[in-house]
Chain A
Amino acid sequence: SQQGEEDPQALSIQEGENATMNCSYKTSINNLQWYRQNSGRGLVHLILIRSNEREKHSGRLRVTLDTSKKSSSLLITASRAADTASYFCATETSGSRLTFGEGTQLTVNP
């Protein structure tokens, strides 16, 4: 079964708005990663946050991690139409296993 649950399942916003996606997980983790997938393509790594970190930034991306609540959020600021994609969180546990959440389909309307 999937470790992570994401919400919302789908999100539609206008260009320039911010998009927030949430991820929850169930077990202890080494780190949590966010990936982006364009339709029919492979996954692209966006950002990794370690279990001892609480917040991380990369360009227009901001990721938070709350290990007490076993949850993470991905914020994309000033969204663009090119940000339209599916976004997945993935938790890494011992043994380098990645377990993916269900994903959020983000649509950014021009």
Chain B
Amino acid sequence: GAVVSQHPSRVICKSGTSVKIECRSLDFQATTMFWYRQFPKQSLMLMATSNEGSKATYEQGVEKDKFLINHASLTLSTLTVTSAHPEDSSFYICSAPGRDSRGYTFGSGTRLTVV
């Protein structure tokens, strides 16, 4: 089945630094990937839609300059949290659309802690 590999699974960084999160589709091509953010015991909030070869589409209230998304190939999408602050600490998850009745395939998530 379709697999999305997300890396790293955990990262701790200092305030002001940037962190890059990668999502790779391992056995299929993903022209679109979605990036979500999840706070503890809460639901997933869509941040942006990553489109291969074009600019990402950001949800209302999500800062484009802070959350940089790049989808340079059909198998790789990256989210870079720039100038991270403690309030950016969260669980970030990517997903790619599935086919037919297979739903969406999610990465395993990245726990970001900004200290």
Contact = CB atoms under 8 A, between A and B. Distances in A.
Given A88-B44, A90-B104, 12 more contacts: A35-B103, A40-B91, A42-B93, A42-B106, A43-B44, A43-B104, A48-B102, A96-B32, A99-B46, A101-B43, A102-B43, A103-B42
A45 B91 contact: no
Contacts, number: 54
A46 B106 CA distance: 12
Which of A33, A41, A42, A48 is most buried by chain B, counting CB atoms within 10 A of its CB? A42
A82 to B, nearest CB: 18
A89 to B, nearest CB: 10
B43 A43 contact: no
B93 A43 contact: yes
Contact of A97 (B46, B106, B107): B46
Interface of A: 2, 33, 35, 40-48, 88, 90, 96-103, 105
A96 B101 CA distance: 13
Interface size class of B (residues with CB under 8 A): 20 to 34
Interface string B82-100: 0000000001010101100
Report whether over half of chain A's contact residues are helix, strand or loop; otherwise say mixed.
strand
Interface in B24-82: 32, 34, 41-46, 49
A95 B41 CA distance: 27
Given A42-B93, A45-B102, A98 B46 contact: yes
A33 B44 CA distance: 14
B105 interface: yes
B43 A45 contact: no
B104 A45 contact: yes
A42 B43 contact: no
